[in-house]
């Protein structure tokens, strides 16, 4: 799923000559940041697209949730690229509602100049009862949507709905 | 007899898996919020790719604790409850470094 996001983000940034930010801190039990891993993946699998970017990608490596993704990315943008007026958020379909609402809320609450948030269109996930290990292991697979374990995706969706409730309750969306 | 019951169980699991796949696709579609792609004005656009902590790098397990994880306490302490960004720089201490050194 992450590979799909990276590919989409690179394509968007290349097409619109936009700045690219990878956002994600250290996942539980890991010693590397998601942003660093995304950059590593981009270097390994999309070196040409990465070289074609007009600006070097930035890493936001401290966030541990979607809310922090939004807050820290906006702060980073304000600091590094204060003239930014449009921001495309790249994430999977199941995460778009919460992610884009969180970014919009964060923008509304910030005192920075107006920034428009767009949710980049993504292909749906392809749930399968048993995705083949070869496909899952191929890190540079460029197919439009890689198959995902249906059981894993269903848990992700349950988690997403619960998270939507939490974000609404605390005023983050 | 045992073979037949095993076959039934296998069939039931197969039907369940197919049903789950179909339901999951529908639910995911409900959560999608696609906007059309908007062209950026030159120098005024940015793209942020959000991390995904479930299957990277080699299959980090999903933990319910992730959902309940508290955000950065320093960050929370520096902000009023419903104000997420401030102009005074209290949330501007991010590590800011170019990922690739300029040529």
Which is nearest to A23 in space by CA: A64, A52, A81, A51? A64
Rounded to whole angstroms, how far apart are CA atoms A122 and A132?
A: 22
The band of A33, judged by pLDDT with boundaries at 50, 70 and 90, is confident
pLDDT band at B99 (very low <50, low <70, confident <90, very high): very low
- B76 shares contact with chain A (CB less than 8 Å): no
Q: Residue B33 and residue A59: Cβ atoms within 8 Å?
A: no
* A20 pLDDT tier (thresholds 50, 70, 90): very high
pTM comes to: 0.70
Q: What is the pLDDT of residue A22?
A: 92
Shortest CA gap A119–chain B (Å): 5
Cα A49 to Cα A53: distance, rounded to the nearest angstrom = 7
- Taking the C-alpha atoms of residue A138 and residue A143, their distance in angstroms, rounded to an integer, is 11
Angle between helices A93-109 and A150-170 (to 10 degrees): 20
Q: Is the pLDDT of residue A139 over 80?
A: no
Q: B24, B25, B45, B48: best mutation site toward chain A, by most A Cβ within 10 Å?
A: B48
pLDDT value of residue A90? 92
Summarised one tens digit per residue, pLDDT across range A63-113 is 888 898 999 999 888 888 888 888 999 998 888 889 999 998 888 776 566
The answer to whether residue A173 neighbours chain B at the CB level (below 8 Å) is no
Instruction: Check whether B100 has a pLDDT greater than 80.
Output: no
Please state the ipTM of this predicted complex. Answer: 0.88
pLDDT at B36: 60
Q: Is the pLDDT of residue A49 over 80?
A: yes
Q: Do A59 and B99 touch (CB under 8 A)?
A: yes
CB-CB contact of B46 with A138 (8 Å): no
Q: Which residue has the higher pLDDT, A84 or B18?
A: A84
Q: What is the CATH number of domain A2-170?
A: 3.40.50.620
Q: Which of A85, A110, A162 sits opposite B84 (nearest CB)?
A: A110
The answer to whether A1 touches A146, Cβ cutoff 8 Å, is: yes
How far apart CA A138 and CA B55 sit, in angstroms, is: 13
CB pair distance less than 8 Å for B62 and A68: no
Among the partner-chain residues A16, A22, A87, the one whose CB lies closest to the CB of B39 is A16
Residues of B in contact with A118 (CB under 8 A): 35, 37-38
Side-chain half-sphere CA neighbours of B99 within 13 A? 25
Q: Would the pLDDT of B82 be above 50?
A: no
Please give the residue of chain A at the shortest CA–CA distance from B63. A28
**Could you state, in order of their start, the residue ranges of all structural domains in chain A?**
2-170
When pLDDT is averaged across residues A105-132 and rounded to a whole number, the result is: 75
Give the chain A residue whose CA is nearest to the CA of B48: A21
pLDDT digits (tens, 9 = 90+) for B24-68: 666 677 777 766 666 666 668 899 999 876 444 333 333 444 434
| A129-133, A169-173, B9-13: range with highest mean pLDDT | A169-173
State which residue of chain B sits closest to A102, comparing Cα positions: B84
Cα of first residue to Cα of last residue in chain B, in angstroms, is 72
Least confident of A138-142, B3-7, B23-27, B73-77: B73-77
Q: Of the ranges A115-124, B12-21, B61-70, B85-94, which one carries the lowest mean pLDDT score?
A: B85-94
**Residue B103: what pLDDT?**
41
Q: Which of A83, A106, A127 sits opposite B43 (nearest CB)?
A: A83
Q: What DSSP string runs through B30-91?
A: HH--PPPP-PPPTT-EEEEEEP--SS-SS-PPP-HHHHHPPPPHHHHHTS-TT----TTSTT
pLDDT at A135: 53
Angle at A46 between CA A44 and CA A51, to 5 degrees: 105
Chain A CB within 8 Å of residue B26 CB: no
Whether residue B54 has a cis bond before it, omega within 30° of 0: no
Q: Is A132 on the interface with B (CB under 8 A)?
A: no
Interface A–B counts its CB contacts (< 8 A) at: 281
Q: Which residue of A has its CA nearest to B65?
A: A28
Residue A34 is nearest to which of B20, B53, B98, comparing CB atoms?
A: B53
């Amino acid at each position: 799923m992450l590979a799909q996001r990276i590919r989409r983000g690179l394509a968007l940034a290349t097409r619109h000559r936009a700045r690219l930010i990878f956002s994600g801190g250290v996942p539980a039990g890991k010693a590397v940041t998601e942003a660093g891993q995304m950059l590593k993946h981009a270097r390994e699998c999309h070196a040409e697209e990465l070289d074609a970017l007009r600006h070097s990608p930035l890493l936001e490596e401290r966030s541990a949730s979607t809310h922090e993704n939004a807050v820290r990315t906006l702060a980073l943008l304000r600091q590094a690229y204060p003239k930014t007026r449009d921001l495309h958020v790249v994430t999977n379909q199941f995460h778009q509602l919460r992610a884009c609402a969180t970014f919009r809320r964060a923008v509304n609450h910030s005192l920075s100049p107006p920034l428009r948030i767009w949710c980049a269109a993504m292909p749906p996930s392809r749930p399968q009862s048993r995705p083949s290990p070869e496909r899952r292991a191929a890190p540079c697979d460029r197919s439009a949507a890689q198959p995902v374990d249906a059981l894993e995706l269903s848990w992700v969706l349950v988690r997403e709905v619960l998270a939507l409730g939490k974000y609404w309750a605390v005023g983050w969306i | 007899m045992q073979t037949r019951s095993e076959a039934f169980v296998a069939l039931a699991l197969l039907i369940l898996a197919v049903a789950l796949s179909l339901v999951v696709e529908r639910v995911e579609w409900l959560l999608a919020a696609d906007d059309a792609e908007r062209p950026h004005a030159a120098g005024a656009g940015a793209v942020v790719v959000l991390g995904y902590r479930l299957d990277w790098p080699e299959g980090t397990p999903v933990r319910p604790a992730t959902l309940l994880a508290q955000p950065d306490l320093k960050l929370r302490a520096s902000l009023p409850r419903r104000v997420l960004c401030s102009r005074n720089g209290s949330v501007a201490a991010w590590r800011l470094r170019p990922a690739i050194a300029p040529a």
